[in-house]
Structure 1
Amino acid sequence: MSTGKINVSVENIFPLIKKFLYSDHEIFLRELVSNATDATLKLKHLTSIGEAKVEYGNPIIEVKIDKEGKKLHIIDQGLGMTSEEVEKYINQVAFSGAEEFLEKYKDSAKDSGIIGHFGLGFYSAFMVAEKVEIITKSFKDEPAAHWTCDGSPEFTLVPADKTTRGSEIILHIAEDSLEFLEEHKIKELLTKYNKFMPVSIKFGTKTDTLPKPEDAPEDYKAETIEVDNIINNPNPAWTKLPADLKEEDYKQFYHELYPMQFEEPLFNIHLNVDYPFNLTGILYFPKMSSDLQMQKDKIQLYQNQVYVTDNVEGIVPEFLGMLKGVIDSPDIPLNVSRSGLQADSNVKKISNYITRKVADKMKSLFNDNREDFEKKWNDIKIVLEYGMLSEPKFYEKAGDFVLYPSVNDKYYTLAELKENLAANQTDKNGKLVVLYASNKEAQHSYIDIAKGKGYEVLLLDSPIVSHLIQKLEGDNENLTFVRVDSDHVDKLIDKEDTQISKLSEDEQGNLKTVVEEFVPKANYSVQLEPMDSAAAPFMITQPEFMRRMKEMSQSGGGGGMFGMGNFPEMYNLVVNSNSELATTILQTEDKTAQESLIKQALDLAKISQGLLKGEELTAFVKRSFELIK
């Protein structure tokens, strides 16, 4: 028997581990299962290169609960340790056996999948245990060892009678951590952190039914047996080559990741790179809602198949945080508890690679099957538009596949849009005017007028469209976007006016004066336009600049995106001077009757823009009933 002191630099290392080193106590199980996996994979590598003269077999890791004895067991069939190795790797805190192994076998062990990095993972056991035992036997022909420590720097190390290779870690669970003796809790943690570990993990048993023999009698009763309950998938889809997977495999893995997600993903992107860093993974485009926040934290980050976090900020570009899937990389620098990222140049390289890969995939999907891409556009546009705003590298490539749909369900790229508008929608300065609607139903009458004049109207209805328009205009000096219910289109587009006012200049002046008399000057600028007599007599538009600034201010939240506060409600009241109502107003001598006509027409125009509310709406309804009577 030997005794000694664990080689630590401070006496209070265990309270430090328990309280400060690891932010979340539950990760102790992840660390211990990761260590067991390392031990198994190391043995696999040594047997493959002939250094370990043993049969590798089909080893598993077993997790067992002894509720009565208040113990939790983690058992592996890996390479085990000699007494000397226990002294070296366990008693010298922060000496990483995995790192030493990788250094020794760096040429041949590159792809062996060793997980450990820090040498502190084992000591996370003391976050939940008042005493920890290790019973271990090396694959070498040497005696087994039994190490015990009660959470102080004191330990004992004695020979053990274990005859099979591997290690068993026994945690004597502390009174304040008895939840980790509950089956549902351990299963939850194993499913969360170790669901895709590269070695099979057994937790309990399950009942399995034997197949019915061919010559079984009619009254045959199926036999059942108890079998190991393997709770993980050691070979998840992202560890395989894309060429080895079918579309059905990707969908199956999606539902394995998200068992409660019943909708199929729209498409996937398989990531696979080994230079200048190692990274694999699968990203899925689900159907998107317009709520940007609700979609986040759906991508899972793994390190050598060990779950780390679903907070992938920094690794995955922000706009792709709304996707789902898995990213796995041994090159992601994590802090000592693996719960957060460390600043590192590789992180930015990984982010740039993912951005480029997604852009390439979008272009490929667009080129291979444009019709299918167009059908899915409304479900993916929020991600791609957000990417154009937030990632310059993505914006550079976006022109090849980002679409701009019309209200008639035609889809244009930006280049196609420019070509389509060139002949018919140019302003007096030679700029192309892109008319768009943000709400097809609410702006129906304005869309109808524009279409009647032969103009193309786009449907741009995402919540970030005002910001996207600003960027597109900034990068295309001969392009301007105007919402269809903004300034009257005939003023914006250099098209020969086919309508001539039926009123003389004096009559037009008198009409403008009369209307202004009964319309609030603080909110409305009265404008006369000669339009088709069948067009609406009164229309409300909003100056494009004012409307856009108001939208930008509101979308920024708080005091406005640029700190501009609230904008005044300013509108144009466009009066159709060729309408019968305009003539009637002019010919009516009774001021009260004139006022009633003008207010009724103004309220109808307000209704079409959703501006009539509260007392004004109540007064309008009463006035309308009076007119009916």
Structure 2
Amino acid sequence: MTTPTIERHSFQTETKELLDLMIHAIYSNKDIFLRELISNASDAIDKLKFEALTNPDLPKVDEPCILLIPNPQTQTLTIEDNGIGMSREDVVNLIGTIAKSGTREFMGALKERKQQHGEVSPELIGQFGVGFYSTFMVADQVTLETRKAGEEHGTRWQSAGDGTYTIEPVERASHGTSITLHLKQEDSEDGLHDYTSEWSIKSIVKKYSDFVNYPIQMDVTHTDYDRDEAGKVVEGSAKTSVKRETLNSMKAIWIRPENEVSEDEYKEFYKHISHDWHEPMSWFRMKMEGTFEARALLYIPEKAPQDLYYREGKRGVQLYVKRVFIMDDCKELMPDYLRFIKGVVDSEDLSLNISREILQQNRQIRAIRNRLVKKVLGTLENMATANSAQYLQFWGEFGRVLKEGLYEDRENQEALLGLLQLSSTHSPTELTTLKDYVSRMKPGQDKIYFASGEDRKTIENSPHLEAFRDKGYEVLLLTDPVDEVWTQSVYKFGEFDLQSVGKGTVELGTEEEKKQAEQALEEKGKTYGDLLGAMKGQLSEYVKEVRLSSRLTESPSCLVGNPSDLSPQMEQLLKSMNQPVPESKRILEINPNHPLNQKLQALFAANQQEPALADYSYLLYGQALLAEGSPLPEPAKFSKLMTDLLVKAI
């Protein structure tokens, strides 16, 4: 019998560099080597199934299997499959060398990431078809034995990652591939675990490969004991047995026909991926076809997670490629304002372990994201129509987050506006949509009015609402901090402008009523004109203008801004975030029909040099600030003036 010829070869220069990077622990998460090998094994079975469809000479895979064989005594781990296998030429081309054009780019990406972040994201590995080499992160020596389906002889490839490898023919009983890793010593500081441990293997498979189509199996040792009548273990009765177990669930329920998946299975899967002990509020599936293929199973939680507003909280859905887990917080698939959505997106076309850097530039990812967003918003719209009670429950948990999309996502702004549920003066308890608000608008009304503040009571007591209340105009009451942001960037709903009651001028009523009000204000202006100019001079440090008001019916004064000005609440929000706030002054409006201002006008008419005018002007300004809930610039000054005024009055 002829002794098989063992050939020794040197790796290409680029391959040596890559192996060096692998061996010197450039990756912090070394567990992913097993994901790579399982994924390769799954692909090999897929290929054999496909080839067997057109080549009747190839064997059929009746019982596809990926077998894991740990051996603590020899410190080895073998991964074996009954897939298509490889010929000697395949081994040389695919394993022995890295003849890919992207190798240099891959190594460049590795080095750049290492320099910038101190470690390399595990998602990079395999990006350029070099996933097999991840084995050298955990093994001192790797032995691969394979036989291609339809061929008689097999091939053995072996390397210690030292720049050389050997290749030789080998007898192998069946087609497929087995890869034996001679494992390095366990080192927790270096991220090396005991990969012969049943617990370690099970946890890695559960995390990364639970939904691979084929059974991932391992022989597991069980110990049973005899027990006495009291149920206690009988000493010395231990009996060990070995049973082959399937480690993965293979329950990729997003692939199975919808009518074959029970409600309980959907709920169980949600808890598995979300670690939420509540049941989901709702879920839906979608299949994307065309230039790319992908499936999604997405959930709307019942309760908001505690980290919903934490910057460090997890964001995004899980990404799978051909049912192989890639990452559990793929931010690129879901915008931040939908960060509460949980679920899985499984692509058939993306390359395995696509990096975050490439995700950000990938057209398919952007296309998938757009489809997902429209599906989520459409689902919420259907919920609001078909089950208003459930939607109001959703809004109570996630409404504030959804509002962020109004300024983050211009493309879907119209859909998001339709989903809003807002408080208004129409009802003390019930929320309203913008569509319902419009349906209740008065004849001739061409604006949607809103007021913002810390809470509903403060807004309702604001002098800005007096004319609206007097004439029966509905006003939206916005109390969430995010309302200050989105109302700065949303200007219309349908054909109607949105206007703050605290900005610009107010013109209410029919055209005839507006004309009459304008004429009345002009007449009052003839009387108050000089007083307004004098007050502006006294308050020039605080306001940019003093004018008569058409919005006040009860209060003597209020402060308003121009349409482009920041609201006081927005200024406070920016200050609380240590953001620079531009210097701005507002407009003081005074009510010409209020007795206080009428007496002030009479006092000024009698003596335009009246010394008390400055004090009264400041008191009116301070009163306007307090009425809207804003702080006084000089509280001590206001308090002293008020005390002096009370003393004189008494």
Q: TM-score, normalised by structure 1?
A: 0.74
Say whether residues 1:149 and 2:184 are aligned partners: no
Amino acid at match of 2:548: L
Say whether residues 1:536 and 2:536 are aligned partners: no
The 8 Å contact of residues 201 and 231 in structure 1, kept in 2 or not, is answered as yes
Secondary structure, aligned partner of 2:443: coil
Distance apart, 1:256 and its partner CA: 0.6
Amino acid at match of 1:330: E
What CA distance in whole angstroms lies between the structure 1 residues aligned with 2:423 and 2:409?
22
Distance apart, 1:578 and its partner CA: 3.0
Secondary structure, aligned partner of 2:166: strand
Say whether residues 1:19 and 2:30 are aligned partners: no
Corresponding residue number in structure 2 for 1:103: none
Structure-2 change in CA distance of 1:334 and 1:86 (3 Å)? closer
The 8 Å contact of residues 435 and 481 in structure 1, kept in 2 or not, is answered as yes
Matched-pair identity in %:
20
Say whether residues 1:545 and 2:564 are aligned partners: yes
Structure-2 change in CA distance of 1:388 and 1:448 (3 Å)? closer
Structure-2 change in CA distance of 1:122 and 1:530 (3 Å)? closer
Alignment of 1:280-429 (within 5 A): 280-286=295-301, 287=304, 291=309, 297-310=315-328, 312=330, 315-316=333-334, 320=338, 323-333=341-351, 340-341=358-359, 345-381=363-399, 385=403, 387=405, 394-395=412-413, 401=419, 406=424, 408=427, 414-423=434-443, 426=445
Amino acid at match of 1:14: K
Secondary structure, aligned partner of 1:14: helix
Aligned counterpart for 2:7 among listed residues 4, 20, 28: 4
The 8 Å contact of residues 215 and 246 in structure 2, kept in 1 or not, is answered as yes
CA offsets per residue over residues 266-324 of structure 1, 9 Å max, x none? 43331223434221122233448884955663312110111223564655567555633
Corresponding residue number in structure 2 for 1:577: 592
Structure-2 change in CA distance of 1:433 and 1:399 (3 Å)? closer
What CA distance in whole angstroms lies between the structure 1 residues aligned with 2:575 and 2:45?
53
Structure-2 change in CA distance of 1:57 and 1:350 (3 Å)? same
What CA distance in whole angstroms lies between the structure 2 residues aligned with 1:342 and 1:486?
40
Of residues 46-55 and 460-469 in structure 1, the stretch that sits farther from structure 2 once superposed is 46-55
Aligned counterpart for 1:31 among listed residues 36, 39, 53: 36
Secondary structure, aligned partner of 2:380: helix
Aligned counterpart for 2:131 among listed residues 113, 121, 132: 121
Say whether residues 1:169 and 2:180 are aligned partners: yes
Amino acid at match of 1:360: G
Amino acid at match of 1:11: T
Amino acid at match of 2:41: A
Of residues 153-162 and 44-53 in structure 1, the stretch that sits farther from structure 2 once superposed is 44-53
Say whether residues 1:180 and 2:192 are aligned partners: yes
The 8 Å contact of residues 7 and 91 in structure 1, kept in 2 or not, is answered as no
Distance apart, 1:570 and its partner CA: 1.5
What CA distance in whole angstroms lies between the structure 1 residues aligned with 2:588 and 2:232?
84
Say whether residues 1:62 and 2:68 are aligned partners: yes
Say whether residues 1:267 and 2:282 are aligned partners: yes
Of residues 48-57 and 483-492 in structure 1, the stretch that sits farther from structure 2 once superposed is 48-57
What CA distance in whole angstroms lies between the structure 2 residues aligned with 1:2 and 1:120?
27
Say whether residues 1:73 and 2:88 are aligned partners: no
Amino acid at match of 1:3: I
Amino acid at match of 2:274: Y
The 8 Å contact of residues 506 and 550 in structure 2, kept in 1 or not, is answered as no
CA offsets per residue over residues 494-516 of structure 1, 9 Å max, x none? 65578989x97776456536644
What CA distance in whole angstroms lies between the structure 2 residues aligned with 1:208 and 1:492?
86
What CA distance in whole angstroms lies between the structure 2 residues aligned with 1:412 and 1:209?
64
Secondary structure, aligned partner of 1:33: helix
Amino acid at match of 1:36: A
The 8 Å contact of residues 6 and 91 in structure 1, kept in 2 or not, is answered as no
Say whether residues 1:245 and 2:267 are aligned partners: no
The 8 Å contact of residues 465 and 551 in structure 2, kept in 1 or not, is answered as no
Secondary structure, aligned partner of 1:239: coil
Aligned counterpart for 1:93 among listed residues 81, 84, 97: 97
What CA distance in whole angstroms lies between the structure 2 residues aligned with 1:440 and 1:390?
25
What CA distance in whole angstroms lies between the structure 1 residues aligned with 2:9 and 2:263?
53
What CA distance in whole angstroms lies between the structure 1 residues aligned with 2:536 and 2:86?
97
Corresponding residue number in structure 1 for 2:502: 485
The 8 Å contact of residues 405 and 459 in structure 1, kept in 2 or not, is answered as yes
Structure-2 change in CA distance of 1:569 and 1:388 (3 Å)? closer
Between the two proteins, the alignment pairs up a number of residues equal to 589
Corresponding residue number in structure 1 for 2:623: 604
Structure-2 change in CA distance of 1:576 and 1:64 (3 Å)? farther
Structure-2 change in CA distance of 1:573 and 1:330 (3 Å)? same
Structure-2 change in CA distance of 1:416 and 1:178 (3 Å)? closer
Say whether residues 1:432 and 2:432 are aligned partners: no
CA offsets per residue over residues 130-170 of structure 1, 9 Å max, x none? 31123557787967765421112221546479899762422
Structure-2 change in CA distance of 1:416 and 1:268 (3 Å)? same
Amino acid at match of 1:361: T
Distance apart, 1:473 and its partner CA: 3.4
Amino acid at match of 2:376: V
What CA distance in whole angstroms lies between the structure 2 residues aligned with 1:399 and 1:178?
51
CA offsets per residue over residues 526-552 of structure 1, 9 Å max, x none? 22337777x222222222222379969
Secondary structure, aligned partner of 1:544: coil
Tell me, which stretches of 5 or more residues in structure 1 are unaligned? 97-115
Distance apart, 1:327 and its partner CA: 0.8
Corresponding residue number in structure 2 for 1:130: 140
Structure-2 change in CA distance of 1:296 and 1:464 (3 Å)? farther
The 8 Å contact of residues 576 and 582 in structure 1, kept in 2 or not, is answered as yes
Structure-2 change in CA distance of 1:580 and 1:387 (3 Å)? closer
Secondary structure, aligned partner of 1:569: coil
The 8 Å contact of residues 423 and 430 in structure 2, kept in 1 or not, is answered as yes
What CA distance in whole angstroms lies between the structure 1 residues aligned with 2:627 and 2:568?
22
The 8 Å contact of residues 437 and 443 in structure 1, kept in 2 or not, is answered as yes
What CA distance in whole angstroms lies between the structure 2 residues aligned with 1:65 and 1:484?
75
The 8 Å contact of residues 64 and 214 in structure 2, kept in 1 or not, is answered as no
RMSD: 5.1
Corresponding residue number in structure 2 for 1:102: none
CA offsets per residue over residues 570-604 of structure 1, 9 Å max, x none? 21222223334334545668956655554344323
What CA distance in whole angstroms lies between the structure 2 residues aligned with 1:128 and 1:72?
11
The 8 Å contact of residues 433 and 492 in structure 1, kept in 2 or not, is answered as no
What CA distance in whole angstroms lies between the structure 2 residues aligned with 1:35 and 1:356?
34
Amino acid at match of 1:241: P
What CA distance in whole angstroms lies between the structure 1 residues aligned with 2:321 and 2:618?
68
Amino acid at match of 1:301: L
Structure-2 change in CA distance of 1:92 and 1:272 (3 Å)? same
Structure-2 change in CA distance of 1:474 and 1:161 (3 Å)? closer
Structure-2 change in CA distance of 1:337 and 1:454 (3 Å)? closer
Q: TM-score, normalised by structure 2?
A: 0.71
